[in-house]
A and B are shown apart, each in its own frame.
Chain A
Amino acid sequence: MELQKYYYDNKIVKCFILATIIWGVVGVLVGLIAALQLAWPMFNFDTEFLTFGRVRPVHTNAIIFAFVGNAIFAGVYYSMQKLLKTRMFSDVLSKINFWGWQLIIVAAAVTLLSGISTGKEYAELEWWIDIMIAVVWVVFGWNMIGTMIVRREKHIYAAIWWYVATFIGVAVLHVVNSFELPVTFLKSYSLYAGAQDAVVQWWYGHNAVAFFLTTPFLGLMYYYLPKAAGRPIYSYKLSIIHFWALIFIYMWAGPHHLLYQALPDWAQALGVTFSIMLLAPSWGGMINGLLTLRGAWDRVRDSATLKFMVVAVTAYGMSTFEGPMMSLKNVNMISHFSDWTIAHVHIGGMGWNGGLTFGMLYFMIPRLWKTKLFSEKLANTHFWLATLGMLIYAIPLYWAAITQWLMWREYSPEGYLAYPNFLSTVTQILPMYMFRSLGGLLFLIGFLLMVYNLYKTMAAGTFTNEEEAQAPVLDNSQSRKDARETQHRWIERKPVWFSIAAFIALAIGGAVEIIPMVFVKSNVPTISTVTPYTPLELEGRDIYVSEGCYTCHSQMVRPFRWETDRYGEYSKIGEFVYDHPFQWGSRRTGPDLARTGVVGGPMYKNAAWHYKHFENAQSVSDGTIMPNYPWFAEQTVNTEVTPAKIRAMQTLGVPYPEGYDTKAVADLMAQGQTIADELKQNNIDVVPNAKVVAVIAYLHKLGRDISKKE
């Protein structure tokens, strides 16, 4: 058959590799800063741009979308061309993919540090960045599907199934979760409210883990692990079963982030059961990976690439066992709101995503630069530092989680909470936070060793932008299924049909959960005493969102006696109907704030207390790790935008009277004045539209309505 000559585009792979390395260092460094801030609050540096609430989203976004994102692109662009025996479909699309993605990352870092955030975890970016992400992601998918169409290999290999699922899954998740109403260039409100927003957000949040951190990496594993080991994939059949089972089941599991919270029991049960059913499909990947290494274990000992891959697959197996267990309600009761989840995601992040990325880089770079790795010994040191760093990071956090949970729920013999001061349960685990910082530091040092090693490798080699290759023309003329061909073998040579089938498998779970929550009224029973936020409270809430207060404070009292004694009445679905977005939080580094407006309740503090606490938290709560917010008193709310915010809320269905936008600012100033007067009695001078006044008004709203008699 006639051989065709073509060229692999190595340059685009090189670009993504460099971006992976650079953003990886940034992401890990920012993570280390966040870890230090929790152990020693002085690392907040008393500047608004570096408070934990802003730094933490930068860390998560940098790791997930910048480091892992670029690693996915690097790995996909490299392997896809070789697996399909063709150049990428379009150089222009490749370039848009690369530069667009880097632009998004820079925009994300700048906006998040400036306090521009939508307040939805792992989806904090504002509306115009969301649009950029959607566009660049579609470009990536277009380029990928185009490449499959111009391929010279008859069948599409398993790695690419996962790439396709990744493209479709992330596209669907990102678009549905990002529906938001822009108010200004820098501010938007989520279209969904309260419990509905929570369901959509955690459907997204959980599946961002699935389709950004899991499926693409399984695809990468299916290429790089057998390549590096020189061994065949253990079971083609297992590849098929666990692929379809995993992408179908994963999409249902999101509500396991909302167990014992203000969500209908049926939705919680779906979250529990589908998470349990995820165990075997997830482990399918681990098994196929580890069994592929049969006959190659002697080589694992000598190769840092393979060692990293083994740790990656093992960490993946651990996390995907732990995940379903954490979805059981009686385990989730402990793991939710504690450091357990933080430890869990770092096993996945450092071990699985980190490990596979490192393995992949050690594999690709010597091949692309046509030289040997500069130092196998240094790579080995990196391996041990990364593995040890991961353990020293995670183990103290598991310890902290159990300790703190036991303290939260312990009663004295007289029937009172044994640790009524929340702070004492935090200071108890601070030593664990110090150890976790050390784990992060080791991981970073290992990372830097890799950077040096790879730099020396690149410097010693020669890079070919256009790598020549040859392959026969593809004869795919027979469209119908051959009698001897299995159904799956047929669809493996029909990329468009394959993509459609994957889309259907993916879409079902989300639709079944989200559509009833948004459209069936009985799922959100209303409470008549719950009123919309006043303009001042709304502005206060926006500050709460923009500062990332939800990174440490929950607003969700669960129905446990030890929570209702500590905070007050447990949270109801109907309380949150005006919350765009919801702010239930996922980790209680500080106490829950859902009941801070209940006068005489255990969480109520007066305006002067809040003022002093924001000014200098340590002066009011000795030993607290809360950052200081002295600029809250100096900065004022931008009341020019307030009317537009009211109108936006009206559009979203919040029942302000018609024409209220024209009166909103006067109401805001009047309410602000009463708080300013109260502060004046304590010799505190503050203007009525100061940020601190708005935040206090918001905190005094939380839980107030539900404590009123109907």
Chain B
Amino acid sequence: MTNDQNHIQDEYFHDENLDKKLMDHDYDGIKELDNPAPAWIMAIFYITIFFSVMYGAYYFWFSQGPTQDQEYLAEVNEYNTKFGQKENNAPEALTILTNEADIAEGMAFYQANCVACHGANGEGGVGSNLTDANWIHGCDIASVAKIVKDGGPNGMMSYKQHGDKKIQQVASYVLTKLKGTNKPGKELQGEACQ
């Protein structure tokens, strides 16, 4: 051991009251006390073991708890009870909405979701041209609403989750404001449609 003046000497601070149970252990100046593990931590340990045994019993030995597949089915049933089936708004029964508020909503939806593929003015791009006379999946309100709702094999994605009302609004917007404006863009696709 060098006797450099600046050398830090590690001190052991003895405390009469706290160190009554000092053991004869000494590792590089580290001592140990013979205290038991605190009762509360041992209690937590035993409670968690008990919990785990009960958990296993509940799900596996007595098969009381649901499997995750059963849990999902229960969740779907609960959903169906709360909201009913979503298919009641049959596309065949749809009409083109014409009032300004609906068209404005439809336009907002178009701006948020459709422009990336169909262009800002419906001229097309990744998606088809919505302003010309040819339509791939039909040009009546029911057909347009259906393709928006369910998507299609050319890459049209499904917008089912946005709800039937929004879908009807955007289909109405496309058919009243974009169709027939004949913007130069994507070439003709599909069949001529009035």
Interface presence of A461 (CB below 8 A) = yes
Contact B45 A245 (CB under 8 A): yes
Which of B33, B35, B55, B161 interacts with A417 by CB under 8 Å? Answer: B161
Interface presence of A179 (CB below 8 A) = no
Interface residues of B in 53-74 (CB under 8 A from A): 55-56, 59-60, 67-69, 71-72
Which residues of chain A have C-beta atoms less than 8 A from B7's C-beta? 370
User: How many angstroms from the CA of A469 to the CA of B72 in the assembled complex?
Assistant: 67
Q: Would you give the shortest CB distance from B173 to chain A, in whole angstroms?
A: 18
- Closest residue of chain B to A612, judged by CB? B126
User: How many angstroms from the CA of A371 to the CA of B8 in the assembled complex?
Assistant: 7
Interface presence of A235 (CB below 8 A) = yes
Interface presence of A82 (CB below 8 A) = yes
Which residues of chain A have C-beta atoms less than 8 A from B83's C-beta? 411, 414-415
- Closest residue of chain A to B115, judged by CB? A622
Contact B155 A603 (CB under 8 A): no
Interface presence of A284 (CB below 8 A) = yes
Q: A232-B30, A366-B8, A605-B157 are in contact. Are A469 and B84 (CB under 8 A)?
A: no
Which of A230, A287, A607 interacts with B10 by CB under 8 Å? Answer: A230
Contact A605 B155 (CB under 8 A): yes
User: How many angstroms from the CA of A685 to the CA of B41 in the assembled complex?
Assistant: 67
Give the contact stretch, choosing among A185-193, A269-277, A342-350, A534-542. A269-277
Contact A287 B38 (CB under 8 A): yes
Interface residues of B in 149-170 (CB under 8 A from A): 150-163, 165
User: How many angstroms from the CA of A353 to the CA of B40 in the assembled complex?
Assistant: 27
Interface presence of B192 (CB below 8 A) = no
Q: Would you give the shortest CB distance from B139 to chain A, in whole angstroms?
A: 20
User: How many angstroms from the CA of A242 to the CA of B44 in the assembled complex?
Assistant: 13
Which residues of chain A have C-beta atoms less than 8 A from B49's C-beta? 277
Which residues of chain A have C-beta atoms less than 8 A from B42's C-beta? 280
Chain B contact residues: helix, strand, loop or mixed = mixed
Which residues of chain A have C-beta atoms less than 8 A from B101's C-beta? none
Contact B59 A235 (CB under 8 A): no
Interface presence of B100 (CB below 8 A) = no
Q: A274-B52, A682-B126 are in contact. Are A469 and B11 (CB under 8 A)?
A: no
Contact B35 A237 (CB under 8 A): yes
Q: Would you give the shortest CB distance from A276 to chain B, in whole angstroms?
A: 5
User: How many angstroms from the CA of A279 to the CA of B35 in the assembled complex?
Assistant: 21
Interface presence of A566 (CB below 8 A) = yes
Which residues of chain A have C-beta atoms less than 8 A from B125's C-beta? 608, 682
Q: A265-B67, A269-B60 are in contact. Are A372 and B155 (CB under 8 A)?
A: no
Give the contact stretch, choosing among A105-113, A142-150, A557-565, A646-654. A557-565
Contact A265 B18 (CB under 8 A): no
Give the contact stretch, choosing among A38-46, A388-396, A594-602. A594-602
Which residues of chain B have C-beta atoms less than 8 A from A519's C-beta? none
Contact B32 A233 (CB under 8 A): yes
Contact A607 B155 (CB under 8 A): yes
Which residues of chain B have C-beta atoms less than 8 A from A242's C-beta? 37
Which residues of chain A have C-beta atoms less than 8 A from B60's C-beta? 266, 269
- Closest residue of chain B to A240, judged by CB? B37
Contact B68 A265 (CB under 8 A): yes
Q: A260-B68, A269-B55 are in contact. Are A232 and B158 (CB under 8 A)?
A: no
Q: Would you give the shortest CB distance from A460 to chain B, in whole angstroms?
A: 9
Contact with A along B1-20 (1 / 0, CB 8 A): 11010111011110100110
Q: Would you give the shortest CB distance from A646 to chain B, in whole angstroms?
A: 29
Which of B6, B13, B72, B150 interacts with A560 by CB under 8 Å? Answer: B72
Which of B19, B28, B41, B151 interacts with A232 by CB under 8 Å? Answer: B19
- 4 closest Cβ pairs, A-B complex: A606-B155, A415-B83, A280-B45, A273-B52
7 contacts between A and B (CB under 8 A): A235-B34, A236-B25, A237-B34, A238-B36, A238-B41, A370-B8, A601-B157
Chain B: residues with CB nearer than 8 A to chain A? 1-2, 4, 6-8, 10-13, 15, 18-19, 22-23, 25, 27-38, 41-42, 44-45, 48-49, 51-52, 55-56, 59-60, 67-69, 71-72, 75-76, 79, 82-84, 86, 112-113, 116-117, 125-126, 150-163, 165
